[in-house]
Amino acid sequence: MAGFLRNYVRNLASVAAGRQPKRPLLFSYYVTHRCNLNCRYCCDGDGKRFKEDPHPELSYAEAEALVKKLARSADTLDITGGEPLLVSAMRCGIRLCPSCSWIRAHMVFQNVYSIVTDRSFLKKQFIFLTLTVKNCKGENLEKEINRLLSAWQKLTDNKRQPFRKSFLGTFRAMEITYNPILKNYHPHIHAMAAVEPGYFRKSNENYLSQAQLRELWRDACGLDYLPQCRIEKVKNAKHKQVAEVAKYTVKTADYLNRPTVLETLHTALKGKRLIAYGGLFKTAKAKLCLPNEDDMGELPKVTVEELLRNPYIRKIVLEWDMGRYHFSPLQPSADLAEWLEPGRVIAEILRSQADAFRGQGGV
């Protein structure tokens, strides 16, 4: 924004001196004319709507080169379209970006569900695990995340470990919740494990009780207290349990409008491998040729309607200020009429989706 104001002042000086102002205040980048809507205001000024006027799109490399060039002249970039989210290159890949987080969680769910319903898991049973440590302050969050990831690796890498011997394969995901009252963080691991049908028999020497799990987890983490852990059999609700392990690393509501929390999470999560497949899960993922969730280039196309159905996002405006990211949410409302009042930026989109929203329990 400083560059915008600086160029604005310089342009005023040029006008006062009788010269033509030449310094740009901002750039608008129309990344695409494609859109799954056909709003009347999206046109070239002559009435021809963008959707009806196909236009060549830049590749990611070309767009990156263009933006770097623009950054030399102005520090404010307006990304627009069309619907920019229809372009895979516009998915920023930032771990805490609300839309990218939702897309990634959606793909993790699809991957894990494809795995557990594969023929190689026929007649297998599943266990759901939650592994925790005590809440921590922001300055200790990265240390505790590293502790959890290292402890998981100790349990799963050693074939002689009771944990490894008990399960045929595992999928684990890191989750972090924020307590706004105590202002602390709760990192923990959700995991799904596959076992043979006879696992729960008393005669099974590899059966792992909750008490044993707590002791194993305490020793792996190097704790001086007995942590809370949960282990339960997945009955006939694979869909629900997969959704539990595949959900957001951090809920958007925990950090939107909390800059300090956002900065803490961004620093603590940087470079961390927050999901992992092991044993039979890893083998099945390779066999099914499922996409890599950490590669944003492989993310599936997601429509605006799907984003709007996200319970944590109705519409998120991602502002990119030449390297600084800021999320501006339009918060959901229980009053549909409020969302559809004339003049709201999102009114036309929601108007076209209103019936679908009522049918799906949306706003």
Residue 188, token pair as written in the block: 């923990």
- Asked if the model's pLDDT at residue 363 lies above 70, the reply is no
Max mean pLDDT among 4-8, 79-83, 147-151 falls in: 147-151
- Asked if the model's pLDDT at residue 236 lies above 80, the reply is no
- Give me the pLDDT at residue 86, please: 67
Give the global pTM.
0.64
Cβ-contact 36, 86 below 8 angstroms: yes
* Domains defined along the chain, listed by start: 2-90 (no CATH), 98-296 (3.30.70), 304-359 (no CATH)
- Asked if the model's pLDDT at residue 133 lies above 60, the reply is yes
Contacts of 294 (CB under 8 A, 6+ apart): 273
Which amino acid type is present at position 70?
L
Per-residue pLDDT tens for 43-96?
A: 766 667 776 777 788 877 787 788 788 777 776 777 777 777 666 655 666 677
Q: How confident is the model at residue 328 (pLDDT cuts 50, 70, 90)?
A: very low
DSSP string covering 15-43, please?
A: HHTTPPP---S-EEEE--S--SS--TT-B
Question: Which sign, positive or negative, has the C-alpha torsion 295, 101, 114, 233?
Answer: positive
Closest residue by Cα to residue 329 from 252, 259, 263: 252
- Asked if the model's pLDDT at residue 220 lies above 90, the reply is yes
- Distance between CA atoms of 43 and 156, rounded to whole angstroms? 56
Angle at which helices 141-157 and 259-269 pack, to 10 degrees?
Answer: 30
- Among 72-86, 117-131, 217-231, 326-340, the minimum mean pLDDT is found in 326-340
User: Percent of the chain at pLDDT above 90?
Assistant: 29
